[in-house]
């Protein structure tokens, strides 16, 4: 962020206005409806949605950071993060609107209800009956049967449908499992239904959906590509700006701890950080998906070739996906960052290889402890975001490797000295030691895919088990220096006590969970539950 940028009172007033709007959930099903070779027209409409929805979420982040508890909001690093979100809000709200020609409007409305799409393009107000119809249409999976990118097993609308909680006629209802402040809850309960619906209808994204169907194999006019590129460029810049958010926010908590002369994070701050990072996951997911879809959208030249060789059939767009992805998605089962047929075993092998490499580099090992991959069946696949899964597995495996090495090294050296008293402890090479294996067991159930990571790393005392979920709690004696330089940023998860808490949030974002059971003096089992049915709601406040 430029040092000359400042949050003005006028901008802050606009941010607080947007912070009163309701967020609009985006389902996993909507995200994959674009297909592996998305239509530029659908990307165009989605870009308009993104430019209206993201400012609401960014404004809420600014407001939350301003109201963060116990003086955390006054820490320099917290203010830095708040200003990043405010600047991103400003850039999106000041992005030039696209000029819609009549011919473009005709293309975009050719496969849709004209009135609803015209409202979308012109920003006109719609009555509540029309809004509910649009929402009902977005939750109806029956129109996806011809889309090759959709796994029908997950056509229950992915991460947003929870039928016993959501009611279309009452948009103020929230997921009761979501973390909300007492002030927010009191405010919501005291607000009349009329004013709530009025505020909801004023939200820029009310009644709109992320995915909108558009005709296939059409050569779209230049303004579509120009607008898509301008949004893509803006999101890429914003994504890079916020790469250092985790580290910078961690620095803010450290500043708070030093100021208050405390070792552990207060429960209020712990709850705030859970909400803050969960919200960040949603924003990053939305930005990352839209950037990836833009990279995969069909070019005009490719559309002409596809139409000539394959006709106008829906099948052609998926058959020729490889060239359209620009090197990003070279598989038919990828839609943006989502894999519709994610092979859990393959992801686990990648995580194992990465964790072992980091371990060997850190401890100077030729070969790290063995990690055994055990699967109940050969091929276990489901719809998921591979980047999230490999992150969770990498963090837990890294913990198991470190625990195994540090717990068994003195024991194994003592055993070798006992067998050969002439040996000195400092002369024994760590590469001469044989550590017990770590087991990664993958099982597929009706509701969940469960991954158990089992080690013999000495376990955790029962009194310390609750602490492992608190931020900045770590057993590392000397943590590395936090570096939030955005130009050369690497997320400093190791040694900061962020691995498990953040991984649990990633699991919970898609309706799963991360649990831990430990035997002090022996080892630890970590259970990663992945929601196979994708039936949970996106955790929006």
**Catalytic sites, residue numbers:** 391, 395, 398-399
| Sequence-ordered list of residues with C-beta below 8 angstroms from that of 405, at least 6 positions apart, any chain | 359, 363, 368, 369, 430, 435
In the numeric block, which tokens belong to residue 391?
Answer: 């992150």
Q: How many CB atoms lie within 10 A of CB 145?
A: 9
Computed on alpha carbons and rounded to an integer, the radius of gyration of the chain in Å comes to 25
Matching residue, tokens 């220096």: 481
Given a contact cutoff of 8 angstroms between Cβ atoms, the answer to whether 406 and 360 are in contact is no
Matching residue, tokens 């597995």: 393
**CA nearest 138: which of 122, 158, 153?**
158
In Å, the largest CA–CA distance within the chain is: 90
Cα separation, 500 vs 517, whole angstroms = 13
Q: Where are the beta strands (DSSP E) in 242-337?
A: 334-335
Cα separation, 502 vs 499, whole angstroms = 6
| Residue 256 CA neighbour count, 13 Å, CB half | 25
H/E element holding 301?
Answer: helix 300-310
SS3 of residue 518 by DSSP: strand
Q: State the DSSP string of 58-101.
A: HHHHHHHHHT-TTTGGGSHHHHHHHHHHHHHHHHHHTSPPPP--
In the numeric block, which tokens belong to residue 52?
Answer: 């209206």
What HEC string does 467-497 produce? HHHCCCCCCCCCCCCCCCCHHHCCCCCCCCC
Matching residue, tokens 């495996």: 397
Given a contact cutoff of 8 angstroms between Cβ atoms, the answer to whether 151 and 341 are in contact is yes
Cα dihedral 249, 254, 260, 264 in deg (nearest 10): 100
Matching residue, tokens 């492992």: 468
Chain centroid to CA 448: 19
Q: Phi/psi zone of residue 245: left (φ > 0), alpha (ψ -120 to 50 degrees), beta?
A: alpha
Task: State residue 496 phi and psi, 5-degree precision.
Answer: -115, 0
Cα separation, 23 vs 540, whole angstroms = 7
Cα separation, 161 vs 537, whole angstroms = 5
Which runs of consecutive H residues, i.e. helices, occur in 139-171?
Answer: none
């Amino acid at each position: 962020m430029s040092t000359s940028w400042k949050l003005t009172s006028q901008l802050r007033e606009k941010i607080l206005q947007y912070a009163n709007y309701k967020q609009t959930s985006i389902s996993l099903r909507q995200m994959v409806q674009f297909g592996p070779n998305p239509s530029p027209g659908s990307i165009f409409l989605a870009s308009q949605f993104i430019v209206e929805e993201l400012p609401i979420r960014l404004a809420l982040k600014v407001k939350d950071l301003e109201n963060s508890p116990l003086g955390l909001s006054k820490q320099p690093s917290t203010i830095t993060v708040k200003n990043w979100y405010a600047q991103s809000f400003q850039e999106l709200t000041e992005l030039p609107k696209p000029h819609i020609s009549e011919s473009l409007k005709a293309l975009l409305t050719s496969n849709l209800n004209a009135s609803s799409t015209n409202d979308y393009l012109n920003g006109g107000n719609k009555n509540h009956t029309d809004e509910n119809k649009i929402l009902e249409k977005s939750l109806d999976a029956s129109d996806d049967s011809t889309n090759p990118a959709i796994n029908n097993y997950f056509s229950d609308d992915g991460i947003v449908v929870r039928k016993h909680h959501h009611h279309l006629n009452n948009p103020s209802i929230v997921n009761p499992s979501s973390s909300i402040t007492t002030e927010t809850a009191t405010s919501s309960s005291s607000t009349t239904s009329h004013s709530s619906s009025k505020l909801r209808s004023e939200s820029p994204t009310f009644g709109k959906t992320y995915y909108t169907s558009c005709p296939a194999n059409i050569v779209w006019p230049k303004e579509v590509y120009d607008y898509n590129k301008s949004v893509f460029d803006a999101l890429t810049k914003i994504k890079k700006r916020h790469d250092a958010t985790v580290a910078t926010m961690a620095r803010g908590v450290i500043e708070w701890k030093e100021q208050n002369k405390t070792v552990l994070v207060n429960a209020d701050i712990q709850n705030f950080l859970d909400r803050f990072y969960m919200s960040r996951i949603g924003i990053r997911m939305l930005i990352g998906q839209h950037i990836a879809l833009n990279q995969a959208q069909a070019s005009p030249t490719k559309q002409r070739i596809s139409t000539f060789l394959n006709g106008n059939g829906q099948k052609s767009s998926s058959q020729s996906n490889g060239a359209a992805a620009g090197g990003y998605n070279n598989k038919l089962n990828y839609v943006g960052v989502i894999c519709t047929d994610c092979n859990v075993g393959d992801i686990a092998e990648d995580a194992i290889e990465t964790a072992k490499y980091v371990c060997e580099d850190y401890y100077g090992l030729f070969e790290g402890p063995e990690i055994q991959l055990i699967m109940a069946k050969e091929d276990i696949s489901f719809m998921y975001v591979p980047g999230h899964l490999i992150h969770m597995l990498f963090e837990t495996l890294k913990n198991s490797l470190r625990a195994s090495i540090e717990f068994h090294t003195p024991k194994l050296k003592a055993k070798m000295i006992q067998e050969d008293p002439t040996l000195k402890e400092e002369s024994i090479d760590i590469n001469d030691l044989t550590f017990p294996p770590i087991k990664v067991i993958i099982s597929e159930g009706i509701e969940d895919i469960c991954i158990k990571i089992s080690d013999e790393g000495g376990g955790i005392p029962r009194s310390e088990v609750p602490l492992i979920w608190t931020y900045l709690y770590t057993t590392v004696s000397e943590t590395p220096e936090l570096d939030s330089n955005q130009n050369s940023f690497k997320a400093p998860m190791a040694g900061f006590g962020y691995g498990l808490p953040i991984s649990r949030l990633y699991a919970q974002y898609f309706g799963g969970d991360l649990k831990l059971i430990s035997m002090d003096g022996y080892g630890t089992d970590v259970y990663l539950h992945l929601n196979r049915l994708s039936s949970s709601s996106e955790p929006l406040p």
